[in-house]
Chains A and B, each alone.
Chain A
Amino acid sequence: MRRALVGCLAVSVSAPPLGLFLMLRRMSLTADVLGHGILPGVAAAFLLAGLSVPAMAAGGLLAGLAVALGAGALSRATGGREDAALAALYLVALALGVAMVAAGGGTMELTQLLFGSALGVDDAALLLMAGTATLSLGVLAFAWRPLVLECFDPSFAQAVGARGGLWHMAFLALVVLNLMAAFQALGTLMGVGLMMLPAVAARHWSREVGGMAYAAVALAVLASFGGLLLSFHADVPSGPAVVLAAGAGWVVSVLVGPVDGVAARLRRRHLAG
């Protein structure tokens, strides 16, 4: 349980800034697709090696990277209808993954893989989560400027030779890695929540990318604490509990956040009227 908390806190520091860039690039759906995309890989590893962290991590990583590359190729091949192709992809991946786990194991394992289990975090998983967080923060610190430029003004980025495409691929690889890390505690379906919900909520706390990243991390840390407490006391699987806590943070942000929050808008209208 304590391992789960430390692991979730580590992921809370690295995943939300990635989610932020996904949101800013209007790629929120992609996180979902990658989250589902790792499931067949995890399931295959589970069938071959049981609930072993290194095997499942490797399987998930391979599957996630394949989906990330495939999604890009697919959207080019189908002429830009990216969202539809991605939706199709993640439904297939989810069904395939669930079918594989169900064939090889029981409902217990299926629940654990999909929704996470705080007790499932062993030392190997904890190392994976902490290592991922360290690596992600390092890469983000280095790649911050190219990522911002590529989001804000892609033609300019290309014109000055910023190699946006290369950074983008590295960025997607980090997303996969973080989803893998989050999956150990939160499950494949719910790991995405800790990445995207704080990022979406952060929009209401700052007008600058840097401020948003801090806000997203703070919200994710709170959600990890709150969610794991809820999971422990109310006997809810850890994944949904953390995501619910993050969801609560999002609702609060929408209501009282200083940037475009409901309360801020009402107050402004009141002052204007």
Chain B
Amino acid sequence: MKAAGTLRVENLTVCHERRPAVHHVSGQFAPGSLTAIVGPNGAGKTTLLRALAGLHKPQEGRIRATDRIALLPQASALDRGFPIGCLDAVMLGLWRETGAFRGVTLAGRAQAEAALEAVGLKGFQRRPVGSLSAGQFQRVLFARLLVQDAPVILLDEPFNALDSRTAGEMLALVKTWHGEGRTVVAVLHDLELVQRDFPETLLLARDPIAWGPTAEVLTAANRLRARQMAEGWAEAAADCDQDVPEQGRAA
């Protein structure tokens, strides 16, 4: 496939409930790069990712994206009890071809079936998503990403609450995407994983602390600075308790 286009942010500020959740972020996710976004709770990682996907309007600055973007939302943001079969859920990834009205072609259906098989859920076509474990459900969402076939892929905590086998297999998929030249950006918590498998890192504490090659970003000094900034918000938040859960969600 052709090389992915650029994803640039210029002086981006995004607000949540009138308070800045992401503050003056500038930089570029290079085409074909594999970047982790890390930072303390409430650092605006998810907000930044959702803004990149076009779900939050920037308060200031802008986002330049030249290519189609696929987003993996946090699994907790979905209605997992919804009565829909695995294959139907995966076929929603064909939205670009089908839109709201057009039928799913045989080729599209085959593509969705192949994607289910690729994530290890062969034979799950008719299974309702409500009966899946957290790991299997995440596999369905990954299958939907496969079907979307986008040059830019954004993952929000893709390995959270997964058993190690599922996490390993999904990580392998992410590496395949990287190998195919797609631009992949993932919000992550596990720093060990980031240091091992993600070449680029953006350390975010509302303001960008550092952005670049992982080894240069995740230094002790940078991590200390991020932590100190997070402690600063905790004290400020004592004045307005009711906003704290909102921050949690924004994390």
Binding site for B on A (CB under 8 A): 24, 142-143, 145-146, 148-149, 151-156, 158-160, 162, 167, 203, 206-209, 212
Contacts and interface: CB of A to CB of B under 8 A. Distances in A.
Interface string B31-64: 0000000000000000000100111000000000
B71 interface: yes
B224 interface: no
B130 interface: yes
Contact of A142 (B50, B70, B101): B101
B82 A159 contact: no
A149 B92 contact: yes
A208 B84 contact: yes
Interface residues of B, number: 27
A207 B79 CA distance: 14
B79 to A, nearest CB: 6
B55 A158 contact: yes
A159 B78 contact: no
A155 B100 contact: no
B100 A162 contact: yes
A153 B89 CA distance: 10
Contact of A207 (B96, B128, B144): B128
A158 B88 CA distance: 18
B128 A159 contact: no
Contact of B73 (A148, A155, A167, A209): A155
B100 A151 contact: no
Nearest to B73: A155
Contacts of A151: 79, 82
B95 interface: yes
Interface in B71-122: 71, 73, 77-79, 82-85, 88-89, 92, 95-96, 98, 100-101
Contact of A152 (B50, B53, B84, B101): B84
Nearest to A26: B79
Given A159-B71, A212-B83, A152 B55 contact: no
Question: Which of A142, A207, A212 has the most B CB atoms < 10 Å from its CB?
Answer: A207
B130 A207 contact: yes
Contacts of B217: none
B100 A152 contact: no
A149 B79 CA distance: 10
B69 interface: yes
B95 A152 contact: no
8 contacts: A145-B100, A148-B84, A153-B73, A155-B55, A155-B77, A159-B70, A206-B83, A208-B88
Contacts of A145: 92, 98, 100-101
B85 A155 contact: no
A202 to B, nearest CB: 10
Contacts of B73: 153, 155-156, 159
